[in-house]
Structure 1
């Protein structure tokens, strides 16, 4: 079961990173079913980590909530749809809405709305400090950092307000959020009560969240808020601290916050890869594999070249010994030489009638059935055996001739006549 930990630091916020061990937090732990399993107020980081350890929890997703006034809400009207072009145009689209150098501001992109893209702008140095505050907690993995007011549940067509002591969090149905001093809430109410000149006067729904204690203490402020007649105000009592409202709203998707952990401040999602410690070794192995393949390919090419050179040298030697032989090539020179050596070893330098008949008969037996000998003549003076032969096709005659040539003999076919029943010709065989 996955757990999510919502952590909200308590003021002062002048330097979020100063004395992190002494900083106090409100926190609440939610399980995957949306039930709060544990919570605490004004606890140190070590206390929260100890609670997670005692419950045997690991890899808890941590959502850090920073004051709403740390991040400015703005919109960006960008016609592009590809994220690369959107990120390039984003600083120019919101520059006029931000009262500081745009290069010193971190911009986090939210979802697209009819008014444009929702954007959160936060000082780059402050964002780095907040990231450092929430990162590296034991038993957790930082998942997101949100402006706290952006987690208020949205009120359709109006505003949500949460009283939190001296400060007040507010969010509209457009996704806009802001924080202000509770004492200034009446002035904000009068601003909401004055409709634009082009609009028809209608009630603006406002939902106020607070504990019963807060409602009692802020009676004067609430009176100012409820005075304008255009506001339709509804109260919602909180049993515990406002953080539980924010966590409940986020877990049940009642809000549309913008995660500030983007681009250079992004945090990796998912569990750490089990191969991460082995990455250097894997890189070395990959390099070795590439080098080995390249070496094997190079050696193969080298040996192929050597083999080609050897074949060319062998053919050069053979051509030097048998300059008139045009049928022998590098592919069959070995077989031709072996046949010639066998003939030389068995019959000596002269090839007589018996020897020629022996090899011709052997090749005849290889093609028996498709070749017929009609007559055989032998010329002792020329050392030639002349065979009048008939075959089913000229290919069979060629097969007989090639077989004799493979034995080192000189074989020729002449006077070939193609007939309807096959082919006939004269096979002349000599010692070569």
Structure 2
């Protein structure tokens, strides 16, 4: 591993950079605070630590696994939680935990730009910039706290933490412990500069205390660049550009989606109405079929069966068969006999007749037979006001 230079950017914009050097084994070298960072940066890998008060680290549940898709989705998943426009922010992805949540760091673009300018003025080009609280020492099953003057840094995980003013540390800790719930740590490890107090809420666990005199050195020794979330956008023209285009076209896209949804709903409604009309027509055909052909039973395919029956009534295209040709031959022979009913089957027609005397029915039977029709008297009934009968008539061979 190459020697490294860790520079710390102070909250005060006019304060100089604090620089500490590490050898290839990660041990502090003898370079003092008075050395210029630009001179120390020669032949060393340079990393910068920025004030964590300007950086939000959190976890976001992401169902997608593609880093590119996560980079596109995270800003809009967090939009309601942020006071600034997502277009003005950088969203940096960290590691994904076992629960499917991805660690995210959020920093304002203008803030990151200001840090870059401060480094440039000092003649330093850092490979990456990290929030300072992610350089605090990591302790198993514990949160790490640093109180230095009026600032407090808290590391709550490998890629999470926060920074605040030291006089409100107790409030921030209480909120963080409450949010952690069952994942709250059983202990705290605190690093305090001489004279610094450690305000803790009542719900906080016991704190193990250490005194630290060189804060930049403590942070430099414990910065793990393999796991800390860097604040430089990996691809300013990728996800960031996509977000800019989305912001520009989002309203149009939403309107287009609404139009498509409305057209789809309208088409669905038209289709539904057509289906209802077809179903009603089929019901009407079935009812008409049963009324017209009561001997046919319940129709399975009423439309087809109706067409078949009508074709049979028309005689299937022949002039000699079918109901209509048969009626054409029967009608002129009825004479004084009245037709009161008619049914049609494959074997011919059955006609119900009524007349004043029995002789009238007999005479009709003879006329039909003389015309070449096959006739069979099925029933004759005398009634008070006349005679009714039923005859089976076929076209004859």
Confirm or deny: 8 A CA contact 1:153 1:249 kept in the other structure.
Answer: yes
Equivalence for 2:207: 233
Q: Is the 8 A contact 1:161 1:207 kept in 2?
A: yes
The answer to whether residue 53 in structure 2 is matched with residue 69 in structure 1 is yes
Match of 2:106 in 1: 121
The answer (yes or no) to whether the contact 2:144–2:189 under 8 Å persists in 1 is: yes
1:295 match? none
Asked if structure 1 preserves the Cα contact closer than 8 Å seen for 2:3 and 2:26, the reply is no
1:145 paired with 2:129, answer yes
Distance apart, 1:187 and its partner CA: 2.9
User: SS of 2:223's equivalent?
Assistant: helix
Pick the aligned partner of 1:134 from 119, 126, 142: 119
Q: Which of 183, 187, 191 is 1:205 aligned to?
A: 187
Matches within 5 A, 1:83-232: 83-115=67-99, 116-135=101-120, 141-173=125-157, 175-191=159-175, 204-211=186-193, 213=194, 216-218=195-197, 222=198, 224-225=199-200, 228=202, 231-232=205-206
**Partner Cα separation in structure 1 for residue 91 and residue 166 of structure 2:** 28
Judge conservation of contact 1:5–1:30 (CA < 8 Å) in 2.
Answer: yes
CA distance in 2, matches of 1:142, 1:174: 22
Task: Give distance in 2, aligned partners of 1:190 and 1:110.
Answer: 25
Question: Is residue 70–residue 122 contact of structure 1 (8 Å, CA) maintained in 2?
Answer: yes
What is the CA-CA distance between 1:229 and the residue it aligns to? 6.5
> Per the alignment, in what secondary structure is the counterpart of residue 5 of structure 1?
strand
Give yes or no for contact 2:52–2:132 (8 Å, CA) kept in 1. Answer: yes
Cα 1:206–1:63 change in 2 (3 A) is same
Q: Unpaired segments of 5 or more residues in structure 2?
A: 238-397
Could you state the TM-score of these two structures normalised by the residue count of structure 1? 0.49
How far has the Cα of 1:141 moved from its partner? Answer: 4.7
CA offsets 1:28-80 (integer angstroms, 9 cap, x no match): 01111111114444x5xx82324x3xxxx734211111100111112222222
Find 1:259's aligned residue among 201, 218, 230.
230
- 1:104-126 deviation digits (Å, cap 9, x = unpaired): 11111111113411111111111
Q: Please say if residues 10 and 50 of structure 2, whose CA atoms lie closer than 8 Å, have aligned partners that are also in contact.
A: no
* Deviation at residue 93 of structure 1 after TM alignment: 2.1
- TM-score, normalised to structure 2, is 0.53
What's the CA shift for 1:192? 6.1
Secondary structure at 2:2 match in 1? coil
Q: Return closer, same or farther for 1:83/1:241 CA change in 2, 3 Å cut-off.
A: same
Residues 343-381 of structure 1: CA distance to partner in whole angstroms, max 9, x if unpaired? Answer: xxxxxxxxxxxxxxxxxxxxxxxxxxxxxxxxxxxxxxx
CA distance in 2 between partners of 1:249 and 1:203 (Å): 20
Following superposition, the deviation at residue 95 of structure 1 comes to 1.7
Asked if the contact 1:152/1:171 (under 8 Å) is kept, the reply is: yes
Please state how far the C-alpha of 1:230 moved relative to its aligned partner: 5.0
Segment drifting more, 104-113 vs 74-83: 74-83
Q: Is contact 1:193-1:231 (8 Å) kept?
A: no
For 1:263 and 1:195, how far apart are their aligned partners in 2? Answer: 30
Q: Distance in 2 between matches of 1:193 and 1:73?
A: 15
Provide the rounded CA distance (Å) in 2 between the counterparts of 1:145 and 1:205. 29
Aligned to 1:150, what secondary structure does the other structure show? helix
Supply the distance in 2 between the matched residues of 1:164 and 1:157 (Cα, whole angstroms): 23
Q: How does 1:333-344 map to 2 (within 5 A)?
A: none
* CA positional deviation for 1:176: 1.8
**Which position in structure 2 is the counterpart of 1:242?**
215
Deviation digits for residues 90-139 of structure 1 (CA, Å, limit 9, x no counterpart): 2122222222111111111111113411111111111122123224865x
The match for 1:6 is 6
C-alpha distance in structure 1 between counterparts of 2:196 and 2:204, whole Å? 24
CA distance in structure 1 between the partners assigned to 2:109 and 2:49 by the alignment: 17
**8 Å contact kept, 2:21–2:31:** yes
CA separation of 1:47 and 1:174: change in aligned 2, threshold 3 A: closer
Specify the SS of the correspondent of 1:263.
coil
Separation in 2, partners of 1:49, 1:146: 19
8 Å contact kept, 1:206–1:233? yes
1:324-346, Cα deviation, whole Å (9 max, x unpaired):
xxxxxxxxxxxxxxxxxxxxxxx
Distance 2:65 2:188 in 1: 34
**Counterpart secondary structure, 1:142:** coil
Asked if 1:47 is matched to 2:21, the reply is no
Q: Per-residue deviation at 1:236?
A: 2.0
- Cα distance in 2, alignment partners of residues 71 and 192 from structure 1: 16
Change (3 A) 1:136 1:111: farther
Aligned residue pair count: 236
